Amino acid sequence: MINFDELIDRRKTNSTKWTKAFGEKHLKENQIPMWVADMDFKAAPEIIEAIKKEADFGIFGYFTYDEYYESVIKWHKERYNWDIKKEWLNFTQGLVQGFNIAISALTKPGESVLVLTPTYYPMFSGIKNQGCQIVESNLIYDDNTCRYTIDYEDVAKKVKNPNLTAALIGNPHNPTGRLYSIEELSKLADILIENNVKIICDDIHCDIIVDPSKKYTPLASMEKYADHIISMNAPSKTFNLAGAKVSNIIIQNEEINRAFKFQMERFCVSVSILSLAACKTAYSKCAYWVDEMKKYVWGNYNYIKDYIENGILKDYIKIVPLEGSYLMFADNKNLMKEFNMNQEDLNNFYYDSCNLSLDEGDAFGNAGIGFMRFNLATQRYYVEKAMNNISEAVKKLKK
């Protein structure tokens, strides 16, 4: 049984999350950071021991990937009944690097790439980095249920442009926490493929389906679509190994795989021996840790949901239902309307008045205006303190 309530001081460990705040802001003393997507939990003890064992051996020469291949293949078979072949696998130093390479492999400068907005902000820069144009299709937001759905009509209209050659989508979706059903994804994939649009799937949060009523199915595991997809995931979010910088890129189509490998070779992409030791062990021995972590995060989400629905915040803040990932999207439009705020005012309210560092909604595109993203992979102590801070700040606004 893992003690996820254990408080761990990360302030003097060169942690990005605990050293700075979102954007160009600094993290103030005693400020609670709930922004960048890593966890405040210690990695599983088996992972820590594997790194120590590798370090104790004392030789860090060149190495093969064979055992890591085996662990990735076994994980996907056991968790998702997906039979992955070794030759489909590539590894990059993080998923952001992965989808930058994927865009480069699938497109030419000047072509367009579709994203579903609001979306993970490095996707915008990733598209621009390759000299491509961003085409946004806003998800449909229901003000009553706070749920997001795909606007298929808008997607179908935009992919008629022959210059649009790729789509970069996330499932679970970041920042909304939506887990698309296989029916939703299939409908989207049909539209894209009919218009000769290749699909890049950023599924980095796929192992963290916190809602126990939901199930993740990889789109690339369906033979109908596999030939058109670059599928990506990683142990980084799953096991709190973001600093290990290892991501899995799964490509069944041989031509696309060759194009991806060519781009990898151009940039001499490789990963470290300590990272592979950690990630191999994670996939082989630490499924129990992931399952316990998901329950803890789900508890944090439900604590916040109950707190808001039964207190002073209920008239001002609404929560987007969290299905996958530990990232919660909060609708603050009522708060903004009541106290005559714009997005900058909202950002400053959370940073200054609530003493929180959060991901600001407008960073995810114009469709994110009015929202803030909370990282719930932290101790309940900080979750409770954050909610109390927000309540006290709202009380002061009401005076």
Residues 6 or more apart whose Cβ sits within 8 Å of residue 284: 71, 74
What does the pLDDT look like over 200-249, one tens digit per residue?
999 999 999 999 999 999 999 999 999 999 999 999 999 999 999 999 99
- Each domain of the chain, given as residue ranges in start order, spans 16-43+288-398, 48-286
What does the pLDDT look like over 98-127, one tens digit per residue?
999 999 999 999 999 999 999 999 999 999
Give residue 348's pLDDT.
97
Q: Are 241 and 41 in contact (CB under 8 A)?
A: no
CATH T-level topology, domain 16-43+288-398: Aspartate Aminotransferase, domain 1 (3.90.1150)
Give residue 50's pLDDT.
97
Q: Does the pLDDT value for residue 399 go beyond 80?
A: no
Mean pLDDT of the chain: 97
What does the pLDDT look like over 159-189, one tens digit per residue?
999 999 999 999 999 999 999 999 999 999 9
Q: Are 204 and 232 in contact (CB under 8 A)?
A: yes
Give residue 241's pLDDT.
98
Q: Identical fold at 16-43+288-398 and 48-286?
A: no
For residues 389 and 20, which has the higher predicted lDDT (pLDDT)? 389
What does the pLDDT look like over 63-82, one tens digit per residue?
988 999 999 999 999 999 99
Q: Show the tokens assigned to 275.
A: 């990272």
Please state, in angstroms and rounded to a whole number, the distance separating the CA atoms of residues 17 and 11: 9
CATH of 48-286, one of 1.10.340.30, 3.30.460.10, 3.40.50.720, 3.40.640.10: 3.40.640.10
Q: In the predicted model, what is the mean pLDDT of residues 8-33?
A: 92
Give residue 1's pLDDT.
86
Q: Are 167 and 174 in contact (CB under 8 A)?
A: no
Q: Does the pLDDT value for residue 24 go beyond 90?
A: no
3-state SS, 175-219, equals: CCCCCCCHHHHHHHHHHHHHCCCEEEEECCCCCCECCCCCCCCCH
What does the pLDDT look like over 79-101, one tens digit per residue?
999 999 999 999 999 999 999 99
Q: Are 148 and 320 in contact (CB under 8 A)?
A: yes
